[in-house]
A and B are shown apart, each in its own frame.
Chain A
Amino acid sequence: MADSPDEIRKKTKTYLAVGAVLFAGTLLTVGVASLEALDIGGHGFDSADCILGLLIASIKASLVAAIFMHLNHEKKAIYWIFFGSFIFVFFLAWLLKLAHDSPLHDQFFYR
């Protein structure tokens, strides 16, 4: 669907708002990693803080993809093309995991 000039004029405020959210999200990510006050569980920087940081990054990435890249109102073909690639990335990572868990890995690694 082609964006008409009127629709584009309405969206400029949204773009600015998303930009502000991205800035705030970045500061929050740094805060979670550095500040004791934002440390989940108070155990120091651990896996829980890592997961929270990556969750914030995922939300930021989703906003960029949905709003700036117009994925929130794209055609089906684009969804198939783009999100289909993640399936292949999943298999790529799975291959690495198989190699890491393989008995051959132990034989060569632990010499």
Chain B
Amino acid sequence: MEIPFVVTPRKDTGLTNSKIAIWLFLASEVMLFGGFFSAYVYLRVGSSDPVGGYPWPERALPILPGLINTFILIASSVTVVFAWAALKLRQWGKFQAFMGFTVLCAFVFLGLKGIEYNVKFHHQALRTVDGAVIEGHLGYEKKEGVDPHAEAKEEDFVLNHHGKKVEENRINVQATGLTFSTVRFHKDWVEEILSEAKQHQSKITLASNLELVLEPGGEKKPVLPAGTELSTEVLAKVADLHLKARANNADVRTEALRNAWKVAHATYPSKRDWEISEKVAIDPKELEGKLLTEASSLTFKVDPPVKLTFAPRDVKAGPAQSRLRDDTVIDGTLLESPMVFHAVDALDFRHLAMKAINKGLDPMAEVEKSWVLANSPQLREIWEWHKGEIAKLEERLKQDYEMKGKAKREPTFTERYRVEWKDFAAKAENKPRTEREGVIKFKEQFMGPNYDARAAAHTFPHLEVPRDQIAFDSKFTPAWNPFYAIYFTITGLHGLHVIGGALVLGYYLFRGKKMYLSNPEWLANRVEVGGLFWHFVDLVWIFLFPLLYLM
């Protein structure tokens, strides 16, 4: 039986089923993206709040990748409508060509988006305690004895137990003892600890004999002798025994509690449960000889003491004891654990200046007092250069107003307090700030600055930031600020729609021949409906591009 109204429109609405359905779906998509666009507006408006505000990263994204993606989506919109037209004109070959190009555009769009995301995920930012923001790329840990300032070879870098380089953003602890939770220990971290200990010829061994009652009514039996070397197998074995003991003890206690309630009900037959609950208690004699030993943790000693390193997000560090997120306790002294930038590529004092203005202080004076300018002569030099360039800009704008009749304009808050990587590059090449767009190579528009090529000119300084100066740090991810949160949310959701659309259009391209031969008008209607979804995806991007990249 043929499904009605898939080719012939309904007489009352003049529409096919798929047409009504897709427009209903697009109406729901308008609501979905409308919600996110509204959220963007309010986040942006809220950032200018005098008390709780912070500097919105306006025009922070490189324009070229977004512009190319816009062209790609517009071109794909044109070709998808041509694909539909080719089907209506019964030109299968042309349909394949146009639809193929459309699907290809989708994948190029996603590829460019992936590159954009990847560059951001590798870009580090931190906010110091005084409110200054430092952006750049972190270095990688080098082996002991290697000159940190000399050009490093691949063999100079420390590798983790996965064989990957380790970023210079670690919490360092001189460990003398480790206590693992037998149930919660994270296998990967245990292997990393073992790997670091082995590199320093240190042994991690059980601190004392482990003796457990393994059977009800039994005696304590030796399970592991002191000096047993740490391994994930040892921890897993004890975890197994612990879980069995815990299950047994829970059953025993439950049974004892049931009996206690029976006794209570018998003693106070007329009372309600809540009236006698305080009188109910487990009789300790009922538990005698029935409980097994639970071993929820195991303590090891580290001999000789060894420097262990952890990612800051994985550890809560203290001066004499630290705790990992899997409840592993590390006994030992906290060592210096700076975050080391191999290349600082932006300095942003806007937040510091905003806080100063709120307190009624001179923002420029507060900037001059910041930790970063006091501790980095190279960044101090760049800042002085930047101040000179802004003074020249002020002069030029004043002349434009007084002598050329142009509108009066001051340097913006962002121009005054933010030094970008293009400024760093212009200074290194002895060019004025007005020519900073010209110092960027085409590839750098997508991948960010080429640190290696610019290293000879000392364009981007090295900087070690002590851990106690860091108020907050993050890569350029949703965690960094609400702009990046909404940017990744809304472009990620849009990207998922691109994937969905590409899958549907690809299905018609590769599997549509059979339907074309049996019912071409039905296929044309389906392609039209798929095309409508694709145009909507393009519509959303038409607004997203200027909103996120240009404003």
Contacts and interface: CB of A to CB of B under 8 A. Distances in A.
Contact of A64 (B9, B35, B539): B539
Given A16-B78, A19-B78, A81-B24, A89 B13 contact: no
Nearest to A89: B34
Nearest to B45: A100
A19 to B, nearest CB: 4
B26 interface: yes
Interface string B28-67: 1011001100110110011001011000000100010001
Chain B CB within 10 Å, residue with most, of A30, A33, A109? A30
Contact of B19 (A33, A53, A78, A93): A78
Given A81-B20, A100-B45, A88 B63 contact: no
B543 interface: yes
Nearest to B29: A85
Interface string A41-56: 1111100001001101
A2 B67 CA distance: 35
B456 interface: no
A53 B550 contact: yes
Interface in A7-21: 8-9, 11-12, 15-16, 18-19
Contact of B14 (A75, A81, A82): A75
Interface in B483-529: none
B31 A45 contact: no
Most buried by B among A12, A34, A60, A69: A69
B201 interface: no
Nearest to B24: A81
Interface residues of B, number: 57
Contacts of B13: 75, 77
B77 A30 contact: no
Contact of A15 (B82, B88, B407, B543): B82
A65 B545 CA distance: 17
A93 B34 contact: yes
Contact of B542 (A12, A60, A75, A78): A60
A38 interface: no
Contact of A82 (B30, B82, B88): B30
Interface residues of B: mostly helix, strand, loop or mixed? helix
Q: Which of B28, B46, B67, B77 has the most CB of A within 10 A?
A: B77
A86 B46 contact: no
Given A22-B74, A109-B52, A64 B535 contact: yes
A89 B88 contact: no
Nearest to B410: A44
A101 to B, nearest CB: 11
B81 interface: yes
Given A41-B407, A42-B409, A23 B71 contact: yes
A68 B77 contact: yes
Nearest to B88: A8
A35 to B, nearest CB: 11
Q: Which size class do A's interface residues fall under? A: 35 or more
Contacts of B52: 109-110
Contact of A57 (B14, B28, B532, B546): B546
A34 to B, nearest CB: 7
A5 interface: yes
Contacts of A96: 38-39, 41-42
B502 to A, nearest CB: 17
A15 B38 contact: no
A77 B535 contact: no
Contacts of B46: 100
Contact of B31 (A22, A78, A85, A100): A85
Nearest to A109: B52
Interface in B530-551: 531-532, 535-536, 538-539, 542-543, 545-547, 550-551
B15 interface: yes
A31 B439 CA distance: 20
Given A8-B88, A81-B27, A96-B42, A42 B406 contact: yes
Contacts of A92: 31, 34-35, 38
Interface in B400-438: 400, 406-409, 412
A54 B85 contact: no
Given A34-B63, A109-B52, A85 B28 contact: yes
A12 B88 CA distance: 12
A88 B542 contact: no
B85 A11 contact: yes
A21 to B, nearest CB: 10
* Closest 7 A/B residue pairs (Cβ): A89-B34, A42-B407, A85-B27, A33-B550, A19-B78, A93-B38, A85-B30
Interface of B: 9, 13-15, 19-20, 23-24, 26-28, 30-31, 34-35, 38-39, 41-42, 45-46, 49, 51-52, 59, 63, 67, 70-71, 74-75, 77-78, 81-82, 85, 88-89, 400, 406-409, 412, 531-532, 535-536, 538-539, 542-543, 545-547, 550-551
6 contacts: A15-B81, A22-B542, A77-B20, A89-B31, A96-B39, A110-B52
Given A26-B70, A89-B30, 19 more contacts: A19-B77, A19-B78, A22-B77, A26-B71, A29-B545, A33-B59, A41-B407, A45-B551, A53-B546, A54-B546, A60-B542, A64-B77, A64-B535, A69-B536, A78-B19, A93-B38, A100-B45, A109-B49, A109-B52
